[in-house]
Amino acid sequence: MQLTQLTIDAARSAVQERKTTALALAEAHYARIQDEDEQIGAFLTLCKERALEQADRIDRMAAEGKPLPPLGGVPVGIKDVMSTRGVRTTAGSKILGHYIPPYDCTAVARMEAAGAMVLGKTNCDEFAMGSSNENSAFRPVHNPRDLSRVPGGSSGGSAAAVAADMAVVALGSDTGGSIRQPASFCGVVGLMPTYGRVSRYGLIAFASSLDHIGPLTKTVKDAAIVLRTIAGRDPMDATSADLPVPDYVAEIVKPVRGLRLGVAKEYFGEGLDGEVRHAVESAIDRLKSLGCEILQVSLPHTPYAIPAYYLIATAEASSNLARYDGVKFGLRVEGDSLDDMYEKTRAAGFGAEVRRRVLIGTYALSAGYYDAYYLKAQRVRTLIARDFAAAFERVDCILTPTAPSAAFAIGEKSDNPIAMYLNDVFTVPANLAGLPAISFPAGLSGDGLPLGLQITGRAFDEETVLRVAAVLEGAASFRHLPSFIAGA
């Protein structure tokens, strides 16, 4: 048994049946991290003691013949924007470079309560701002499929950890595509649940009305298992929905026959790579052959999604990041006066992209410009949500590319923020509308790089997006991309 290439169920049952131990699984993944992560850079902090304590708990349960919980003995990575009690949590920023939270993020606590072993914290763009992981204050992440490429961002460390078999599963966060786009670039599955489906308690806020926590996994079924684990009302997050959590794992095996799938014409304009278009077309053929009805839908306000997103997200970020003032959290650089201390602390602690966004957001919210920028962007947001609502009267979900191309080269867009922002063109609309969306591997580019497809669904209908992704995943038989390690 290759211990680092297991799905959740395979890992859990191997431990349950005593074919291996949780300890051996943890050790195998740490060995893999030891061997590979210097070149990839997926992890910022490891918490071996914590993982091994959990391993011991799980192994004792297995030894006593007790049924293991759903993630019993499963090694996981956690994006470093989720608070972990006693374990350094940086948000990829120097300003939190030494921050040790006193409590756990709800999603992390639920993963551990379900038996998962937290191996460590994964690298990300600073405060989750970015599409390439080059904005991490610590180091960039390299794409395990091709080390000269970016892994996508901002959950690049989580995607790379899963793609390189350094974790079975990782949690990420998605404000404008940060789970789905790295999943697409690294050839793994990434699910952004509906806004409110998963508690944000303990997530370091970027843009509170757009932030979602979700899984990055090797298979669609694993994404369903993790969602079932972390979803549901949390009294600590007033925006978490008080709705029953379906059994996603049971839902995904239901047939797709009779489902109506929408294809949005606005998503197939210029700038879209021919290979990506081809992957979408093959998926459409496959879905037709399985008895789905394919309908053309229109989402006319799509071209305004990027500008609206980059005003709303920066406005919220400028407010959320005000708390890093040298007093309440993390870094403090002394100055001659209070103002001087604030300035020195924030200048030393924040990287260029974070500063750019705080400036844009502060400007968009300023008294003179609020109506022209922030308010206008909020109106556009409503129009985008209405586009989806109209489309979902006719179809059950919408099929689009995840990103305009396969993973781009490290450095290719880092000097050009606008080019970087445009990479989010297909992912930000779902955040603005608060809808669930999944990216899963659906093809290979001519260079052998993974290409992702995205399925967006109605609010709180994760089961349909998972179900459609599951049948396509089987068809693409793309699950096990060749490992990036020579000879492996």
H or E element at residue 457: strand 450-457
Locate 433 and state its tokens. Answer: 């509308």
Count CB-CB contacts under 10 A for residue 153.
32
Q: Which is nearer to ligand GLN, 197 or 332 (CB)?
A: 197
Residue 79 annotated among the catalytic residues of the structure: yes
CB 435 within 8 A of CB 194: yes
Taking CB under 6 A as the rule, does residue 122 contact ligand GLN? no
Which of 41, 472, 140 minimizes the C-alpha distance to 290? 472
Q: Could you tell me which stretch among 13-21, 55-63, 172-180, 340-348 binds ligand GLN (CB under 6 A)?
A: 172-180
Given the residues 132, 136, 173, 178, select the one marked as catalytic. Answer: 178
Q: End-to-end alpha-carbon separation of the chain, Å?
A: 14
Minimum CB separation of residue 387 from ligand GLN in Å reads 20
Count CB-CB contacts under 10 A for residue 405.
18
Among 176, 182, 193, 351, binds ligand GLN (CB under 6 A): 176
Q: Which is nearer to ligand GLN, 7 or 133 (CB)?
A: 133
Taking CB under 6 A as the rule, does residue 320 contact ligand GLN? no
Taking CB under 6 A as the rule, does residue 129 contact ligand GLN? yes
- Please tell me whether the peptide bond between 154 and the residue prior to it is cis, using omega within 30 degrees of 0: yes
CB 427 within 8 A of CB 176: yes
Provide the mask over 248-287, with x wherever binding to ligand GLN is found by CB under 6 A and - wherever it is not.
----------------------------------------
Q: Could you tell me which stretch among 6-14, 171-179, 247-255, 282-290 binds ligand GLN (CB under 6 A)?
A: 171-179
Given the residues 83, 93, 132, 154, select the one marked as catalytic. Answer: 154
Among 167, 230, 313, 365, binds ligand GLN (CB under 6 A): 313
Provide the mask over 394-433, with x wherever binding to ligand GLN is found by CB under 6 A and - wherever it is not.
------------------------------x---------
Q: Which is nearer to ligand GLN, 12 or 180 (CB)?
A: 180
H or E element at residue 385: helix 376-391
Amino acid at 140: P
- DSSP helix/strand/coil, 388: helix
Minimum CB separation of residue 362 from ligand GLN in Å reads 16
Size of the site for ligand GLN (CB under 6 A): 13
Buried-state track 338-369, b at ≥16 Cβ within 10 A, e below 16:
eeebbebbbeebbbebbeebbebbbbbbeeee
Taking CB under 6 A as the rule, does residue 190 contact ligand GLN? no
Locate 482 and state its tokens. Answer: 């060749």
> Cα separation of 312 and 306, whole Å?
10
- Long-range contacts from 331-339, C-beta under 8 angstroms, 24+ separation: 331/94, 331/95, 331/96, 331/97, 331/98
- Helix axes of 8-16 and 48-63: crossing angle, nearest 10 degrees: 50
Q: Which is nearer to ligand GLN, 230 or 306 (CB)?
A: 306
Q: Which is nearer to ligand GLN, 129 or 249 (CB)?
A: 129
> Cα separation of 81 and 372, whole Å?
32
Q: Which is nearer to ligand GLN, 177 or 441 (CB)?
A: 177
Restricting to residues 138-167, name those near ligand GLN by CB under 6 A: 154
Which of 407, 156, 404, 437 minimizes the C-alpha distance to 274? 404
Provide the mask over 193-212, with x wherever binding to ligand GLN is found by CB under 6 A and - wherever it is not.
-------------x------
Residue 178 annotated among the catalytic residues of the structure: yes
Which residues are annotated as catalytic? 79, 154, 178
Q: Which residues bind to ligand GLN, rule: CB under 6 A?
A: 128-131, 154, 174-178, 206, 313, 424
